[in-house]
Amino acid sequence: MKLYLKIWRQTNADSNGSFQNYEIDEITPDMSFLEMMDVLNEKLIIEGVDPVAFDHDCREGICGSCSLFINGRAHGPDTGITTCQLHMRKFQDGDSIVIEPFRASSFPVIKDLVVDRTSFDRIQHAGGYISINTSGNTQDANTIPIRKEDADNAFDAATCIGCGACVATCKNASAMLFVSAKVSQFSYLPQGQVEAKDRVLNMVKQMDEEGFGNCTNTGACEVECPKGISIKNIARMNKEFLKAKL
Ligand code: FES
């Protein structure tokens, strides 16, 4: 496959970026999108050009590091996957592909396609801990009865990998889907009740301080989330927040 790439290049956080055009050949449909980027970077290095910086780690949809906006969509043209799980078979020979970083003022660009998502880390830190009695024998997890539906909902919320696709997709750059997933994964479980009030208040406060926008229920975040996190979690977080405030 021959491809025409239009990639956002930016030297550092303080410089103005711009799109640069690249042509790349000998890409096979079985390559992953990031392998295609590797091929491009090898070519650029041989030509003495600075390779394109992009985030990645596990390359199997687990860590949430990869974060590319491809042809106007977070994680590209497929659904339910991360950028590292996207394959070149989703494109045609001769295609033009526009590749940008996740854009949001709370995710400043560090270099090229790499953005600073430590705002998510600070929100999670604000959520604090859960109290567990660790004295004596280790407690068997099965001694605490939990409704199957609650356990499933908590697990579904916990599958959020914090990639930031929800923020990059939302017209308000809202982080409500991410934060609500982190609140919900504990709020469904008895272990999460002890610090429930402080957790939701502190996380929402930190989210606002980081400059994320509010939710206006467009639902784009749910559509583009690689893990299918439901916007029902946002309703749950709002309920938890109101309960804590009152
Ligand atoms: S590199 Fe880990 S999810 Fe893509």
Q: What is the pLDDT of residues 106-116, one digit of tens each?
A: 999 999 999 99
Distance, CA 65 to ligand 1 centroid (Å)?
Answer: 5
For atom 3 of ligand 1, which residue has the closest CA?
61
**Token pair for 177:** 């889907």
- Predicted pLDDT of residue 134: 75
Please classify residue 26 by burial: count the beta carbons closer than 10 Å to its beta carbon, then call 0-12 exposed, 13-18 middle and 19+ buried: exposed
Distance, CA 148 to ligand 1 centroid (Å)?
Answer: 30
- Predicted pLDDT of residue 140: 79
Closest ligand 1 atom number to CA of residue 66: 4
CB atoms within 10 A of CB 57: 11
Q: Is 63 in the pocket of ligand 1 (CB under 6 A)?
A: yes
- Predicted pLDDT of residue 124: 97
Q: What is the pLDDT of residues 77-102, one digit of tens each?
A: 999 999 999 999 999 999 999 999 99
Q: Is 67 in the pocket of ligand 1 (CB under 6 A)?
A: no
- All structural domains of the chain, each given as residue ranges with its CATH number in brackets, are 3-111 (3.10.20.30), 118-245 (1.10.1060.10)
Distance, CA 59 to ligand 1 centroid (Å)?
Answer: 4
> What is the mean pLDDT of each successive set of 10 residues along the chain, which is 246 residues long?
98 96 96 98 97 97 96 96 98 98 97 98 95 78 89 97 98 98 96 95 98 96 97 97 96
HEC readout, 23-41: EECCCCCCCEHHHHHHHHH
Distance, CA 135 to ligand 1 centroid (Å)?
Answer: 37
* Residue from 58, 70, 87 whose mutation best tests the ligand 1 pocket (most atoms within 8 A of CB): 58
Q: Is 56 in the pocket of ligand 1 (CB under 6 A)?
A: yes
Distance, CA 234 to ligand 1 centroid (Å)?
Answer: 24
- Predicted pLDDT of residue 135: 76
- Predicted pLDDT of residue 173: 98
The Cα 243–Cα 241 span in angstroms is 5
Q: Is 65 in the pocket of ligand 1 (CB under 6 A)?
A: yes
The Cα 60–Cα 23 span in angstroms is 27
* Residue from 33, 35, 65, 225 whose mutation best tests the ligand 1 pocket (most atoms within 8 A of CB): 65
- Predicted pLDDT of residue 133: 77
